[in-house]
Amino acid sequence: MNLSEIKLGDGVTLGDFCPETDPRDWILEPFAQDGYLWATNGKILVRIRIPKDCEYEEIEPGQGSSTPPKMSDIIKIPETDDLEWLPFPMYDGLTKTIDCFYCECPCCKGSDYIDYECPECGQEVERVCHRCDGDGHGGLDPDCETCKGTGKITAPADQIISGFKIAGDLCILISKLSDIEYTPNLTIGKSVFFRFDGGIGLAWLMR
């Protein structure tokens, strides 16, 4: 079985928690480490136990774009039942207006990065685009069929859950998991801790 095809709930798979594109190769597909399967797109992370009928290869942690870091070192997940758990609220259907995903940023031309000359050493390096904050969008394409040349589209609004602000698209993805609950009295770094049938996860909070 392909790791990305492992079902986690109603119409959602482990691969749905990975991005379609990213400069880090290791993040594009689920991976096995420390006896668990992990999947993340940089905004949300899930961890499940490895199914018995699953063929996999443990990935040794390392550095660079091709190898994941040691997850247990950078994400301290508490193994405790002494927490209050509440049902994860369903997405309320509200929307917001955002920059069109399909119109390229005029600064980085959709690449997410720009060339930058370091004032200290004079070397030219690559850095995240300051205009689009690294998402490659935010331009205005008069021929775009999605936004009809407006540069704006409608997207799920951010959700406020027990004081936590979570991106609407993440809330929709989380709500597809089975028996999803979250704890209001614990954040791990800048993320909210949740659990579901078969695993646990973290959703990064909005600024």
CA distance 88 to 12: 16
What tokens appear for 175 in the block?
């709500």
More confident residue, 157 or 164: 157
Model pLDDT, residue 131: 67
pLDDT, tens digit (0-9, with 9 covering 90-100), for 36-58: 999 999 889 999 998 887 777 77
- Distance between CA atoms of 74 and 133, rounded to whole angstroms? 23
Looking at the DSSP bridge assignments, the partners of residue 48 are 37, 199
Look-up of token digits 């859950």 = 161
pLDDT-above-70 percentage for the chain: 88
CATH of 97-156, one of 1.10.150, 2.10.230, 2.30.300, 2.40.128: 2.10.230
Amino acid at 172: I
Distance CA 134, CA 137 (A): 8
Report the first-to-last Cα separation within the chain, whole angstroms. 38
| Structural domain boundaries in the chain | 3-92+158-204, 97-156
Which structure tokens are listed for 134? 């690294």
